[in-house]
């Protein structure tokens, strides 16, 4: 059973860069069947897809966030990461990493527990 775990600072100052890492266990991040994804949820609101990365490094980003996002992958550590630059209070959210099953299925099949990131001075 694959497990995903987010890690990173819970508090980030405005204008700085939010950095999170997702560690995958119980399955290889280099499996060609999956994308590694980030999703966020503002307090009391719905889910928002941020983007995903293939193990080869190909990335796909939400157009509304694209200018501030970088998603990277470290296959040797079985991890992938999110960087969101120039954050404001509007970026305060629970951030989830998830695995996107591709190859004609196209859905999120496994989720991390989520980590709350607060943007505040």
Q: Which of 38, 52, 80, 95 binds other proteins (CB under 8 A)?
A: 52
Of 33 and 47, CB closest to other proteins: 47
Which tokens is 26 given?
């119980």
Q: Does 8 bind other proteins (CB under 8 A)?
A: no
For the four alpha carbons of 118, 58, 3 and 111, in that order, the dihedral sign comes to positive
- Tell whether residue 104 is a contact of other proteins (CB under 8 A): yes
Tell me the closest approach of the beta carbon of residue 40 to other proteins, in angstroms.
10
Determine if 33 is a binding residue for other proteins (CB under 8 A): no
107 near other proteins, judged by CB under 8 A: yes
């Amino acid at each position: 059973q694959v497990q995903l775990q987010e890690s990173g600072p819970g508090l980030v100052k405005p204008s700085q860069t939010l950095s999170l890492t997702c560690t995958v266990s119980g399955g290889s991040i280099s499996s060609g069947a999956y994308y590694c994804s980030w999703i966020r949820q503002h307090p009391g609101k719905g889910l928002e897809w941020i983007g995903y990365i293939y193990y080869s490094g190909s990335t796909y980003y939400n157009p509304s966030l694209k200018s501030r996002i970088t998603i990277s992958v470290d296959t040797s550590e079985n991890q992938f990461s999110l960087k969101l630059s120039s954050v404001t209070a509007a970026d305060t959210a629970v951030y989830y990493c998830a695995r996107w099953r591709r190859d004609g299925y196209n859905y999120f099949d496994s989720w991390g527990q989520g980590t709350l990131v607060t943007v505040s001075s």
